[in-house]
């Protein structure tokens, strides 16, 4: 692809370099080769510009390459431009409509002839599979499930009964959508009696779910993951939760039942959310933090239990000096004790 064409398609401005230069791929600063385009988003990697073998680079406003032999595409967001370039060089593979001979499809299921159904897929009664859907081998789809246009289910996925998957969703390997919620009542003999889990899970359009994640159905009603939300590998979403639009939930995070996660919330790795809580829009909870109370919109929370990130940073800095403080306190105690004896 010519450099001028790449600039146009990524929404950037060609600041230096030949418009006719051919760009073959996009890669990071440290691995880019001749004919590649790279990017700089984090200033700490600036020294790598001197060493990169790339032919061109996406740079944010005000950042200089410092090299005459490196073509520059000026961007409002270099990382976003690089992402668009990657998508250009690695377009999604076109599906091959049809049903593998080993697939098992109930006679009452409505499967579009424009969908691709892989080997050993099971599609149960009353399901609806729309055009452009790609279901990889060994996927199991229970009764009454609907899957919207152009969605992709990778090998090992299970979608439980009556769940709804929107358009352009991606579900990665060995994830379960609609597993039973964790609900029990203690009977008269103090034994656990399972509460029927008869609700469902709804994934709205453009949701992506990582590998080995579980999203539990509601006991009654629904668990809903709203448009554009992205959920990483190894995440647990409890029964009756709502994850709002464009939320980002990172690996090993757990949401207890009936949690409500707002728009554009970021939950970093290994975050814990207690049940029936609300995390407001645009809030951020940093890695290995947990909360047992509601979080206001826009707040950044850290620690266990979670509190304001700035206060947490100050507390962490003080914690590292506890040994020093203890020694100083002992010296003061000795001094005060000595003064008392002299009185």
Q: How far is the C-alpha of 64 from the C-alpha of 223, rounded, in Å?
A: 48
Cα separation, 150 vs 118, whole angstroms: 15
Q: Are 78 and 56 in contact (CB under 8 A)?
A: no
The three-class DSSP label of residue 89 is helix
Q: Of 154, 239, 276, 293, which residue is the catalytic one?
A: 239
End-to-end CA distance of the chain: 88
- Active site (annotated) includes residue 90: no
- Burial state string for 65-100 with b = 16 or more CB within 10 A and e = fewer than 16: beeeebbbbbbebbebbbebbeeebeeeeebeeebe
316 by Cβ neighbours in 10 Å (0-12 / 13-18 / 19+) ranks as exposed
Q: Which of 14, 38, 15, 12 has the alpha carbon at shortest distance from 25?
A: 38
Rounded-to-integer distance, Cα 132 and Cα 151, Å? 7
CA distance 150 to 175: 18
Q: Which of 67, 69, 71 is nearest to 23 (CA)?
A: 71
CB 170 within 8 A of CB 157: no
What sign results for the dihedral spanned by CA atoms 299, 300, 303, 308?
A: negative
Give the pairing type, strands 236-237 and 278-279: unpaired
Task: State both tokens at 95.
Answer: 């599906």
- DSSP string computed for 21-78: -B--EE--TTT--TTEEEEE-SGGGGGGGGT---SEEEEETT-----TTSEEEEESSH
Which residues carry out catalysis? 239
């Amino acid at each position: 692809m010519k450099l001028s064409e790449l600039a146009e398609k990524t929404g950037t401005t060609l600041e230096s370099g030949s418009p006719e230069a051919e760009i073959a791929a996009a890669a990071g600063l440290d691995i880019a080769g001749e004919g590649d385009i790279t990017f700089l988003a984090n200033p700490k990697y600036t020294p790598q510009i001197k060493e990169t073998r790339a032919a061109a680079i996406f740079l944010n406003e005000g950042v200089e390459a410092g090299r005459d032999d490196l073509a520059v595409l000026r961007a409002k967001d270099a990382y976003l431009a690089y992402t668009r370039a990657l998508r250009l060089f690695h377009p999604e593979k076109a599906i091959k409509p049809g049903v593998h001979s080993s697939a098992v499809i109930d006679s009452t299921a409505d499967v579009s002839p424009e969908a691709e159904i892989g080997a050993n897929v099971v599609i149960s009664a009353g399901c609806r599979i729309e055009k452009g859907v790609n279901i990889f081998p060994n996927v199991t789809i229970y009764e009454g499930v609907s899957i919207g246009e152009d969605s992709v289910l990778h090998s090992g996925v299970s979608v439980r009964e009556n769940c709804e998957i929107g358009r352009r969703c991606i579900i990665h390997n060995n994830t379960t959508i609609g597993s039973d919620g964790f609900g029990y009542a203690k009977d008269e003999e103090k034994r656990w009696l399972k509460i029927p889990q008869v609700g469902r899970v709804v994934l709205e359009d453009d949701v992506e779910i990582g590998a080995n994640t579980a999203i539990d159905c509601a006991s009654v009603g629904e668990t809903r993951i709203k448009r554009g939300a992205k959920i990483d590998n190894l995440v647990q979403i409890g029964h009756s939760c709502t994850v709002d639009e464009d939320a980002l939930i990172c690996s090993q995070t757990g949401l207890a039942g009936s949690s409500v996660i707002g728009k554009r919330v970021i939950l970093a790795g290994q975050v814990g959310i207690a049940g029936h809580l609300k995390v407001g829009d645009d809030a951020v909870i940093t890695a290995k933090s947990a909360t047992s109370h509601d979080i206001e919109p826009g707040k950044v929370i850290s620690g266990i239990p979670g509190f304001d990130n700035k206060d947490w940073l100050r507390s962490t800095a003080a914690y590292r000096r506890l040994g020093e403080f203890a020694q100083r306190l002992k010296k003061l105690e000795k001094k005060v004790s000595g003064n008392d004896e002299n009185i």
